[in-house]
Structure formats: structure tokens, C-alpha cells
Amino acid sequence: MGFWDYLSSRHQQLLTDAFQHASAVFQCMVIATVLGILIGVVSYRSGWGSGLAITTTSTILTIPSLAMIGLLIPLVGLGVAPTVVTLTLYGLLPIVRNSIVGLRGVDPALVDAAKGIGMSRAARMLRVELPLAWPPILTGIRVSTQMLMGIAAIAAYASGPGLGNEIFRGIASLGSANALNEVLAGTLGIVVLALLFDAAYVLIGRLTIPRGIRV
């Protein structure tokens, strides 16, 4: 069976896998973004605190994704749970690092001016510092998403959702008629999803970043 014939015959399953893959990455990115920005906000003023945050999240990335999922299976079981935990942890580093860099890059004079007109610390953070730090934070979110698109395929090892199931089925049946089609369909599907997500981030950047501070 040719590749296009395979896509035609399996399009419903492929669309389901693609939706599950995109949904898993999106949900984990929301969690990782909230946690990453919070860690950045808490730690950016402290040299040792920011160093600890970056070192810890960097160390997580040194653990092979397959090993991470394997270690989580006895703790949280198979399926969605190890996928969510793994993707969230792997997504933290670029967001934490860029949050710290972005917040440290805010002009202190602007923060002092906001303080001078009576803004509380929370108001300064929400209305001055985070909006000005948003461009590098968004870049970190984009980098994390691209990473997680690929890592999410490994979730199939733990019966997780997504296009990784196509790839693993193909690898498990190497030599069969559709093995290469399955691997190729899963791989190309992930590439297409990554491009679509990145295009969405470009649009978000244009809508949320004032023209004067766009990089």
C-alpha cells in the first residue's frame, strides 16, 4: 500500500491521534507556563534562587524521556498521568530561564516610576514587569512547545495518547507492509502540528506584544 493510500484508509484514526497529541501538549504547556512564570517571578531577584531554579529544571532535561516515563509508571500508572507529568517537567526550563531573563531586563526606572505613583508590588509585577518581560517569556513558551511535540511521541511507551502510537506500531512491525507508512505518518503529523502551534504563537505575539517592544 502506498503512503497516500495508507493516509486515506487511516485518516480517521490519524486525526484522532493528532487531536490527542495536540491536546496533551497544549494542556501540559498551560501548566508548565503557569509554573514556569511563577518560579521566575519568585526567584529572579535572587542570584542563588534563580540559579537553583535554572539548575533544577536543567537537570530534569538530562533525564532521558523514556527513562522518565518508565520511572513514573510505578508511581502514577499507565496512560495520561505519566504523559502529563513528563511533558510538564520537560517544558519548564525554557520558560523559567526566559522569565528570569525577561524580568531582569525590565528597566528599573520604569519600576521605580510605577512605585512612585503608588502601585503595590503585585500591581507593578502584573501591569509593568510581566508585560515588558512577555516577549522573551513567549519565546520560551515557543521553544518548550517544539520540544514537547517530539517528546510527547514517547508517551506511547506508557500507553499515552498521540501520534507516538503510530510510530511505535510501525517500529514494532518493521518488515510488514505498512510499517514505514505508520512511522512516516506519525512523524509528519508531529511536524505539521509543531508548525501549526508555532504559527499560532507568532499570531499571539503580534496580538499581545506592543509594536515598540517587539524583537
Report the number of distinct structural domains present in the chain. 1
Residue 214 confidence (pLDDT) above 70: no
Question: Whole-prediction pTM value?
Answer: 0.89
Grid coordinates belonging to 92: 519548564
Give the DSSP H/E element, type plus range, for residue 138: helix 130-151
Residue position matching grid coordinates 520511572: 71
Give domain status of residue 1, yes or no.
no
Is it the case that residue 213 has pLDDT exceeding 90? no
Rounded Cα–Cα distance for residues 26 and 4 (Å): 28
CATH code for the domain of 150: 1.10.3720.10
Whether residue 6 is contained in a domain is answered as: no
DSSP 8-state secondary structure symbol assigned to residue 211 = G
Can you give the pLDDT at residue 1? 65
Least confident of 22-26, 63-67, 200-204: 63-67
- Domain assignment present for 31: yes
Query: What is residue 78's predicted lDDT score, i.e. its pLDDT?
Result: 79
Q: Rounded to whole angstroms, how far apart are CA atoms 97 and 135?
A: 13
Q: Which domain holds residue 163?
A: 11-213
Cα separation, 89 vs 72, in Å, equals: 12
**Residue 114 falls within a domain, yes or no?**
yes
Q: Whole-angstrom Cα distance, residue 25 to residue 189?
A: 14
The reply to whether 109 falls in a domain is yes
